[in-house]
């Protein structure tokens, strides 16, 4: 089954590359997850006041900060502020997806 499917996909990709690419890249990876941050950090991470602007920040930096906050908040969720609780809500793969999304925004 799998063996049969792969050549099929390769053929389809070769035949109508752009159509397949569109299907696989819409919607952009991490967008809906990252949208959880928009209420405080602004649409696409463009905060208008107070909270940190996330658009265009390096993915490594965002992931590192969230991972650190998550570690600190694990022992005492509320003590590390509201963002500590939010960091607790996501696993490593989700954090990476969110970080990559903001890094791709301007």
Partner 1 sequence: MTIDRRKFTLGLGLSALAAPISRAFADGLPTSLLGANPIWIPASTNPVPVPTNLGISGRVVVIGGGMGGATAAKYLRLWGGSGVKVTLVERATTYTSNIMSNLVLNGSLAMSSLSFGYDRLRRNYGISVVTGEVTGIDPVGKQVMLKSGTRLPYDRLIVAPGIEFDVIPGLESAAAQTLVPHAWKAGPQTTALRDRIKTLRRGGVFVMSIPAAPYRCPPGPYERACLVADYLKRNNPGAKVIVLDANPKIVAEAVNFGNAFNLTYAGIVDYRPGVSILSIDAAAGTVNTSAGPVKGDVINAIPPQRAGGIIATAGLNNVGGRWAGVDVLSYESTAARAIHVIGDAAATTQPKAGHIANQEAKVCVDAILRGFKGLPPDAAPVTNSACFSPITATTASWLTAILAYDPATGTMKSVTGAVEAPGPNAENFNQMKQWFSNLMTESFA
User: Does the protein bind partner 1 through residue 75 (CB under 8 A)?
Assistant: no
Asked if 14 is part of the footprint of partner 1 (rule: CB under 8 A), the reply reads no
Per-residue tokens: 15: 């035949």
Q: What angle do CA 45, 49, 55 make, to 5 degrees?
A: 20
DSSP 101: H
The residue range among 9-17, 59-67, 71-79 that interacts with partner 1, by the rule CB under 8 A, is 71-79
Footprint of partner 1 on this chain (CB under 8 A)?
Answer: 22-23, 26-27, 31-33, 35-36, 38-44, 46-51, 77-79, 82, 85-86, 88-90, 94
């Amino acid at each position: 089954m799998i063996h049969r499917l792969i050549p099929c996909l390769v053929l389809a990709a070769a035949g109508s590359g752009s159509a397949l690419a569109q299907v696989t890249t819409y919607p952009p990876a991490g967008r809906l997850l990252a949208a959880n941050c928009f209420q405080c950090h602004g649409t696409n991470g463009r905060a208008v006041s107070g909270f940190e602007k996330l658009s265009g920040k390096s993915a490594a930096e965002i992931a590192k900060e969230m991972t650190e906050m998550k570690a600190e908040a694990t022992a005492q969720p509320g003590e590390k502020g509201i963002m500590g609780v939010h960091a607790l809500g996501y696993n490593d793969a989700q954090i990476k997806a969110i970080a990559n999304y903001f890094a791709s925004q301007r």
